[in-house]
Amino acid sequence: MERKDAQKASTASQHLVCLMVLAFVTCVVKGAEAVPLTPAMFIFGDSLIDDGNNNYMPTVARANYLPYGIDLGIPTGRFCNGLTVVDYGASLLGLPLIPPYLSPTSKGSKILNGLNYASAAAGILDETGRHYGGRMSFSGQILLFEKTIRYQLPPLFETQEALSQYLTKSVFIINIGSNDYINNYLLPNIYATSRLYKGEAFADLLIATLTMQISLSSKLCSPGLDFADPNSFVLGFIDGLSVSLVSSTMPKLYTSSLISNLKDKLYRLGARKMLLVGIGPLGCIPSQLYMRSSTNSNGCVEWVNDLVSLFNDRLVYFSKTMNSTLVGSSFVYQNIFDVFSDMIKNPSKYGFTVSDQACCGNGRHGGALTCLPLQPSCSNRDEYIFWDSFHPTQAVNKIIADRCYSAFGTDCHPISVYQLAQI
**Residue 256, helix vs strand vs coil:** helix
> Residue 398: what pLDDT?
98
Residue among 147, 168, 145, 165 at smallest CA distance from 157: 165
Give the number of other Cβ atoms within 10 Å of residue 109's Cβ. Answer: 7
> Residue 422: what pLDDT?
97
Number of H helices, E strands in the chain: 14, 12
pTM: 0.85
CA pair distance 245, 130, nearest whole angstrom: 12
Q: How would you class 3 by CB atoms within 10 Å of its CB: exposed for 0-12, middle for 13-18, buried for 19 or more?
A: exposed
Catalytic site residue from 47, 244, 355, 389: 47
CA pair distance 71, 382, nearest whole angstrom: 10
CA pair distance 92, 328, nearest whole angstrom: 24
CA pair distance 76, 18, nearest whole angstrom: 7
What b/e string do you get for 277-310 counting C-beta neighbours within 10 Å, with b at 16 or more? bbbbbbbbbbbbbbbbeeeeebebbbebbebbbb
Establish whether 388 is a catalytic residue.
yes
Along the 423 residues of the chain, how does pLDDT read in single tens digits? 444 444 444 444 454 445 455 554 554 455 445 799 999 999 999 999 999 999 999 999 999 999 999 999 999 999 999 999 999 999 999 999 999 999 999 999 999 999 999 999 999 999 999 999 999 999 999 999 999 999 999 999 999 999 999 999 999 999 999 999 999 999 999 999 999 999 999 999 999 999 989 986 333 322 233 333 333 333 332 222 233 323 333 344 333 333 322 334 899 999 999 999 999 999 999 999 999 987 888 899 999 999 999 999 999 999 999 999 888 999 999 999 999 999 999 999 999 999 999 999 999 999 999 999 999 999 999 999 999 999 999 999 999 999 999 999 999 999 999 999 999
Catalytic site residue from 46, 50, 71, 388: 388
> Residue 107: what pLDDT?
96
> Residue 294: what pLDDT?
76
Catalytic site residue from 71, 391, 411, 416: 391
Establish whether 47 is a catalytic residue.
yes
> Residue 22: what pLDDT?
55
Torsion over CA: 215, 216, 220, 221 (sign): positive
